[in-house]
Amino acid sequence: MKGNNRIVTMLLLLSTVISCGSVQQGNKNDVAAGSTVVAQHGQLQVIGTQLSNEKGDPVVLRGASLGWHNLWPRFYNREAVKWLAGDWKCTVVRAAMGLEIDDNYRDNSEFALQCITPVIEAAIDNGIYVIIDFHAHNKYTEEAKGFFTEMATRYGDYPNVIYEIWNEPDYFEWDEVKAYSEEVIGVIRSIDPDNIILVGSPHWDQDLHLVAEDPIQDVTNIMYTMHFYAATHEAWLRERTDDAITSGIPVFVSECGGSEANGDGRLGTEEWKTYVEWMESRKISWVAWSVSDKNETCSMLLPRASSEGNWSEELLKPWGKLARNSIRRGN
């Protein structure tokens, strides 16, 4: 046990969780214990540059990210997560808690927590991993410290949890992103000593060459995120990432898609296949964006899709079909 906060967490799970638009009841017995992904792999760790299970064997997680909680709250529910774990065979889901756009965490923290709580707890119940994503482009240091204090206190005893402390630093220098990350990591590690922490880098998580020149020191079980959109980002980004890994930087692709970088435009099917082959050959974990119904290429669902899963092929947009097939094939 990592601390005495398990009692608090169990009490939270036994209480009724008010989710976005519905009321859900926590249930720790949804999936038989030995049959789940987390039961098989347990506490994740970073060995060298490789994400590994508690036995030290390499692990590749593949899954889907929900869209911004404040834009698509209807998908933030237990049944949607259960469907992603069961039908899509996701071994990880990502809860993208928005810090910007209307009704964000800074303006309405209660609503944000009501959205992400059932997602996190459904992932735990279904025995898969979950990324708690501080989905920001700008820097909100104090908000991040408060948020991750609460998340680590609630869920730090669960091996399911992965913390993503800054989704995509846009126009920041690496020294500023690094200083922010060290501060937030310190807050998490004071409560949770070992769950994986994901660290972003400048220019939408693509400046891994800067990270390689000056990585964070003296902290275990951290990885650096890389984001790509296959119809825009060509071989240069794979080569840059390869160079960073060779330099000793552990990489986790916490967001990726088959569209152009703006989330729209054409679907680069062949480019996506190239990226998937590249990630698989290097045992890089990846999460596809996004479970949402926006009228754009990188949204996976049609607007008439149910909020709670049970998505037939006809309810999946072309990217949704491609992402689902890639996740199922890999897992």
Q: What is the pLDDT of residues 262-299, one digit of tens each?
A: 999 999 999 999 999 999 999 999 999 999 999 999 99
Beta-ladder partners of 320: none
Structural domain including 233 reads: 6-330
**Inside any domain, residue 147:** yes
**Inside any domain, residue 45:** yes
Tell me how many domains the chain contains.
1
Burial of 231-263, coded b for 16+ CB within 10 Å and e otherwise, reads bbbeeebbebbeebbeeebbbbbbbbbbbbbeb
pLDDT average, residue stretch 107-113: 98
Task: State the DSSP string of 225-237.
Answer: EEEEETTT--HHH
**Inside any domain, residue 117:** yes
pLDDT score for 13: 40
Task: Report whether pLDDT(33) > 80.
Answer: no
d(CA 209, CA 259): 24
Predicted confidence (pLDDT) per residue in 40-96, tens digit = 999 999 999 999 999 999 999 999 999 999 999 999 999 999 999 999 999 999 999
**Which domain CATH number covers 129?**
3.20.20.80
Task: Report whether pLDDT(4) > 90.
Answer: no
**Inside any domain, residue 1:** no
pLDDT score for 34: 62
d(CA 65, CA 123): 12
Task: State the DSSP string of 191-202.
Answer: T-SSS-EEE--H
Record the pTM: 0.91
**Inside any domain, residue 285:** yes
Task: Report whether pLDDT(242) > 90.
Answer: yes
- Of the candidates 121, 142, 182, 255, the residue annotated as catalytic is 255
Confidence of residue 139 (pLDDT cuts 50, 70, 90): very high
- Of the candidates 168, 176, 270, 271, the residue annotated as catalytic is 168
Q: Is 260 a catalytic residue?
A: no
DSSP state of 307: T
Task: Report whether pLDDT(322) > 90.
Answer: yes
**Inside any domain, residue 193:** yes
**Inside any domain, residue 100:** yes
pLDDT score for 117: 98
Residue 173 CB coordination number (10 Å): 12
Q: Is 213 a catalytic residue?
A: no
**Inside any domain, residue 67:** yes
